[in-house]
Structure 1
Amino acid sequence: MKHNFGAGPCILPKEVFQEASQAVIEFNNTGLSILEISHRSKEFEQVVVEAEALVRELLNVPADYSVLFLQGGASQQFAMVPMNLLPEGGKAAYLDTGVWATKAAKEASKLGHVEIVASSSDKNYTYIPKDYSVPSDAAYFHFTSNNTIYGTEVFERPNVGIPVVSDMSSDIFSRVIDVSEYDLIYAGAQKNMGPAGVTLVIIKNELLGKSGRTIPAIFDYQAHAKAGSMYNTPPVYSIYVSMLNLRWLKAKGGVSVIEQENIVKARTLYEEIDRNTLFKGTADKDDRSRMNITFVMENPEQEAAFLELAKERGLVGIKGHRSVGGFRASVYNALTISSINALVDAMREFEENTVK
C-alpha cells in the first residue's frame, strides 16, 4: 500500500479515481469519452453548472461573487491579479511569506509599484509576520494563505481596510473561510480540489472591469465571467474531476467536517514530531500549517536512512523541498488518518532502532 504525502498534484479519494476513470472510457452513457465530448455540449455544460454550484455551497460564496474555472495555475494569477486590479501608476501591497508570495509580488511589480509590507525571509520563512501596516492608498493587499514549501499557514484574514486578495492554492476547501471577507481568491486545483489544469477564481463582481487598463480578453476576469468560464476551451477533464471531488467533499459533510479531520491529522503528526528525539519541526508552532508539515532530523546524516525506511513502508513524497531540506508531509483532504499513523509508526520504529 502506498501512502501519498506528495505536495502536488494531489491525492484524491479512490471513489473519485474510479468514477473519473470510467468517464475516460464512456461519459454518462454518451458513447463518448469525457476527453472527447464537446465543451459546448449540454452534458459538459451541466458539469460546469454543478461544479460552480458545489463551490458556492461548500464555501458559502455570496451571490455578488463570480466563480470562474480558468487555466494557467496560480502562476498565471500572479499576473492576472494586477492586470485586473492595479490601475496604471497604482500601488499594491504584498506580504512576503515564501517563494510563491515572492513570485506573485515580482509579477505585480512589472505592472505597477509593489510595497512589501512585511517578510519572514530573515528566518527562511519559518513564521508568518504579525505586526505590519498596509498603506491605505494601495489598490489591494495580497497574501498567500498557506506556504507549501515552508509549512506555514495564515489562519485569520489580516484586517487591512483595503481589498484583499489571497492565493489559497494549497488550503482551499481544507477549512472554513468567510468568502465575504475577501475580494478575490484564487487557487490552483491540484492540492485539495482536483487535478492540475484548472484554476479556481472567486471574485467580487464590483471589481470586474475596474482597473482602467486595456488588457487582452484572455486575461480579463470580466470576459471570463460574461462567458461563464467558456471564453476559450476550458480544461474539461480537470473541471469534471474537480466536480467529482467536490461531490465527495459534500457527501462527507462539507468543509466544516473535513476541517476537523485535518486538525486531528495534523495534530497527530505534530505531536510525534515534538515527542520524537530524532526529529524537530521547522515552522514556528503558532504558524504551523495543517496542510504541509515540515520537519528535519536533529542529525541530518540520518535523513537518508529514514527516507529509505519510509520507502520500504510505502510512504511516498515526504522528502522536503530543496530550499528547506528534511521532510515534508502534505496532509491534504483525501489523505486518511491511517496514512498519518503509518508515518508516525515509521518515525517511532526509526527512533527505537537508532536510540539504543
Structure 2
Amino acid sequence: MIPRIPLGPWKRGPVFAALALLLGLLMLLHAHIPNVGGVGSLLDNLLPWCGVFVPVLLAGALWRRSASAVVALVLPVTVWLSLFGGLLTDRSHPGGDLTVVSHNVGAGNTDPTGTARQLAVSGADLLALEELTDQARGTYEKGLAKAYPYHVVRGTVGLWSRLPLSDTRPVNVVRGDAGPLAKTKPAQSKAEAAAEVRALRTTVATARGPLAVYVAHLGSVRVMPRGGFWTVSRDFGADALAKAVAAEPDKRVVLLGDLNGTTDDRAFHALTSRLGSAQETAGNGFGFTWPASFPIARIDQILVRGVRARSSWVLPGTGSDHLPVAARISW
C-alpha cells in the first residue's frame, strides 16, 4: 500500500481559492455582466452584500489550512474596499442652507396621519412624498399645512415647501404601455392619465436664487415567472429622468425620490453621471432604506448638482415599507 502524501498548504483548498477569485472578479466586472433577465441589474443593486461571502470563504480557507485560498481572498477584499470602503466612515460636515427630505409614504400605509405628523417635525425645508394615493392625499395636505405653506402635487408625487414654488410641471417617466402585465383597456380619461404622473419638476425660490427640484417615483422592478427580473418600466423612467435633467437650464438641481434602484445600478448611469449622491458624498454608512423592516438596499435617493451635500442620513421608520431619507445641502 502506497502511503498518502499530505498536500502542502498551497495545494489545499483549491475550491475555496477558486471561489474567492470568482467573487473578486464578479464584483470587479459586475457592470460587464450581461443583463439577461435583469440579472445584471439585480447584481448591481445587491453588490455591497457580496462582502458577506468573504468571512465565509475565510472560514473555509482556515478550516482547510489553505494558504492559496487565503491569498486569493485578497482580490475580493481589495475590490470590495475600493467600491464601498469609503462608505464605512462618517463623511458629514456641519452647516448647510437647506434640509431636504424624501419619503415613499407607501400606498398601503395604514397610518398616514401618524406619518404626516412625523414628517412635519423632521425639520425639512423641502419635503418630497411619493406613492400618494387619492385616499391619503387629503390627510397629508391637512397634516403638513401648518409646517409647509407651499405645496404641489402631480399624480402620485408631491413637494411640500417652506419656500415659494413656481413653474411646476409633470415629467413623463411612465411608458405608454404597462409592460408584460398590461391588459387591453379602453382609452384613459384625463383624470386617469393625471393619476399616472409619477414625477414632477418645480422651482424653489431660495435666498440664494432659484433651485430646480425634481420629485420622482420610478416604475417597480418585478419578478416574472418566465422572464426573470423585469426592469423595463424602471429603466424607461430612469432614461427619461436623465434626459430631463440634462436639458434642465438651472445650474442648481436636487432630485428626490424612490428610484427603485441603487446608484450602482447600470440603469442610472446617465443620471448619476450628471448628479451626485448626497449619501455617498456626505453620509455615514450605506443608508439602506428598503424594506423598512430589514433594509437591504438604498433605493430612495437624494441626488444633487450645483449644490453641495453637507450631511445625509436616514430618518426613523413610519407606517411605510420605506424609510425616509434626509440631507442638508449648501451653496
Structure possessing the higher radius of gyration over alpha carbons: 2
**Looking at both structures, which has the greater relative contact order when contacts are Cα pairs under 8 Å and sequence separation is at least 6?**
1
Q: TM-score scaled by structure 2?
A: 0.31
Q: TM-score scaled by structure 1?
A: 0.29
Q: Which has the higher strand share?
A: 2
